[in-house]
Structure 1
């Protein structure tokens, strides 16, 4: 069984491209990648602010599912120009996950993302509270 999750009033944006923000299945929440695009659809140009917004958007998906950042067990981040922006990303990530136990994390360098000015996409898997 799978249940799809959408942050409030964003379902149409996901359905327009044929995917869900997250899927609940087997005691886990599998989240689609989130990026630093604001509510008006604009990419945030400042790298640190863009990375923070990507995590804020991820938090919106978690909240819609009744979860939080402490429920995340695995993160995959996709970076354009990883070496240039890695310290800024690491700083934001540390603010989101300040204390152990930390989730698993895989960082992957990519050539580009869906929008030309995007520098990061982050996706995650969380353990659902009802299955702990």
Structure 2
């Protein structure tokens, strides 16, 4: 049986402690990253939507880094949007900066009506690279 290992970035502990969840779980060579939002160090939302999206991707990058991964290791991505039609262009532009060329990860975008004070969330599954 594969043992689960928790992964936490060096910073941004407030949301994990407040809501009692792990940033990511490593199981074998897979990394399951909890939904990342555009939160500041204290757990509060970034108020400007564009900056909230950028911060969510940045926060995701920190979790990936803590596990020895990069954005290139992502195989599956799910994003959550409180107003998909109005937000889609901003999210797509941010995503295209992170994934400028093929192969692109799988992507499912979901419209929701509540994200605990946030307007965007991203969760991923990544394959952890083998170390030499």
The reply to whether TM is greater than 0.5 is yes
Q: Name the residue aligned to 2:30.
A: 28
Q: Structure 2 matches for 1:30-45, cutoff 5 A?
A: 30-45=32-47
Q: Distance in 1 between matches of 2:92 and 2:104?
A: 13
What is the root-mean-square deviation in Å for CA atoms of aligned residues?
1.5
Output the CA distance in 2 between the equivalents of 1:92 and 1:38.
18
What CA distance in whole angstroms lies between the structure 1 residues aligned with 2:62 and 2:69?
10
Runs of at least 5 residues in structure 1 that lack an aligned partner in the other structure: none
Size of the alignment, in residue pairs?
129
TM-score of the superposed pair, with normalisation by structure 2: 0.91
| 2:14/2:41 contact within 8 Å kept | no
**Residue in structure 2 matching 1:79, options 68, 74, 81:** 81
What SS is found at the alignment partner of 1:130?
Answer: coil
Q: 1:10 to 1:39 in 2, by over 3 A?
A: closer
CA–CA distance in structure 1, aligned partners of residues 123 and 38 of structure 2: 12
Tell me if the contact between 2:80 and 2:111 (Cα under 8 Å) persists in the aligned partners: yes
Unaligned runs of 5+ in 2: none
Distance 1:57 1:67, change over 3 A: same
